[in-house]
């Protein structure tokens, strides 16, 4: 396997977007590109990404291989790369290690890091095809801000869609907080809020996970939330620097009641495993 990212920042942002949810993962490489899928360590949420071969500056892979890596190690190595460096990654012949080569065309410097692959067991989950009755597209910076701001007041966020507006709200010991976004009012056209909806909906989620998902905001100026009753929420960020020939998706089951919610959510996600 050999692949080249034009900008190191793409891979840096991608790893930052998953490393707080999962410690290690298998990159599944094939001739069509690289995919990854993993449940977070508490088995509440699922994250997956897909990088299509056409989205790389160069990409070549003649067999299906699994590249097991520790994301903490990878994140440390990537700190060495300037955002404008290009990155070439390749495996050795026996697929026992992976090498990261950072190339900075303006300087006389070339950095190379080689790390041993690790064995990670676990089959990918089958994600069922779902029709979502509500999809909301909004600026990813606004999504991040909503998660951060409401996180001050509570732990659970209620997402309510009606009449072309979406209300995120929470309550806690200090009081209540609520943030309303309306379709179409955003001044910057490329990130205007768009709401597609067949019916009104009201779902609750663990704010902590949405906040972790929002770490992907630097990957794209837009994010799409897909909502459906009794079905995990999908938070999707296209990868802007790959011309959207790649994307990252997070799945999180809604909270069912007032007690044992995390267990409910865990069961919901576990079902996909079976």
Contact set with its own copies (CB under 8 A):
70, 73, 76-77, 79-80, 97, 106-116, 142, 145, 148-149, 152-153, 174-187, 192-193
Long-range contacts from 88-96, C-beta under 8 angstroms, 24+ separation: 88/2, 88/3, 88/4, 88/58, 89/1, 89/2, 89/3, 89/4, 89/5, 90/1, 90/2, 90/3, 91/1, 91/2, 91/65, 91/67, 91/117, 95/65, 95/67
Count of Cβ atoms closer than 10 Å to residue 168 Cβ: 21
Cβ nearer to its own copies, comparing 181 with 201: 181
* Closest approach of its own copies to the CB of residue 131, in Å: 26
Cβ nearer to its own copies, comparing 31 with 80: 80
* Closest approach of its own copies to the CB of residue 145, in Å: 8
Cβ nearer to its own copies, comparing 93 with 131: 93
* Closest approach of its own copies to the CB of residue 212, in Å: 19
Q: Which two tokens stand for residue 184?
A: 């179409």
Cβ nearer to its own copies, comparing 106 with 119: 106
Cβ nearer to its own copies, comparing 113 with 272: 113
The secondary element (H helix, E strand) that includes residue 266 is: helix 261-271
What is the Cα–Cα distance from 61 to 3, expressed in whole angstroms? Answer: 8
* Closest approach of its own copies to the CB of residue 239, in Å: 25
Q: Dihedral, CA atoms, 180, 185, 187, 191, nearest 10 degrees?
A: 70
Cβ nearer to its own copies, comparing 188 with 259: 188
Cβ nearer to its own copies, comparing 152 with 229: 152
* Closest approach of its own copies to the CB of residue 206, in Å: 20
Supply the angle between the helices 8-18 and 71-78 in degrees, to the nearest 10: 140
The string of DSSP letters for 7-40 reads -HHHHHHHHHHHTTT-SEEEEEEETTEEEEEEE-
* Closest approach of its own copies to the CB of residue 41, in Å: 20
* Closest approach of its own copies to the CB of residue 153, in Å: 7
């Amino acid at each position: 396997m050999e692949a080249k990212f034009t900008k190191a920042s793409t891979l840096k942002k991608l790893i930052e977007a998953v490393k707080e949810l999962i410690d290690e993962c298998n990159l599944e490489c094939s001739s069509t590109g690289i995919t990854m899928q993993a449940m977070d360590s508490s088995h509440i949420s699922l994250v997956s990404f897909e990088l299509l071969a056409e989205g790389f500056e160069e990409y070549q892979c003649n067999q299906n291989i699994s590249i097991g890596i520790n994301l903490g190690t990878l994140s440390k190595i990537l700190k060495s790369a300037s955002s404008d460096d290009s990155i070439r990654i390749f495996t050795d012949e026996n697929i026992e290690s992976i090498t990261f080569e950072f190339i900075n065309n303006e300087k006389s410097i070339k950095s190379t890091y080689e790390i041993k692959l690790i064995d990670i067991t676990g089959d990918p989950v089958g994600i069922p095809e779902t029709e979502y009755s509500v999809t909301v597209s909004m600026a990813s910076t606004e999504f991040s801000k909503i998660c951060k701001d409401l996180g001050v007041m509570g732990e659970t966020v209620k997402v309510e869609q009606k009449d072309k507006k979406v209300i995120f709200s929470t309550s806690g010991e200090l009081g209540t907080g609520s943030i309303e976004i309306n379709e179409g009012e955003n001044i910057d056209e490329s990130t205007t809020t768009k709401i597609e909806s067949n019916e009104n909906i009201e779902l609750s989620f663990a704010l902590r996970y949405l906040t972790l998902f929002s770490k992907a905001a630097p990957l794209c100026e837009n994010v799409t939330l897909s909502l459906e009753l009794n079905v995990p929420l999908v938070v999707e960020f296209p990868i802007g620097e790959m011309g959207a020939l790649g994307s990252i998706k997070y799945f999180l089951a809604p909270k069912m009641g007032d007690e044992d919610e995390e267990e409910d959510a865990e069961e919901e996600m576990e079902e996909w495993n079976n």
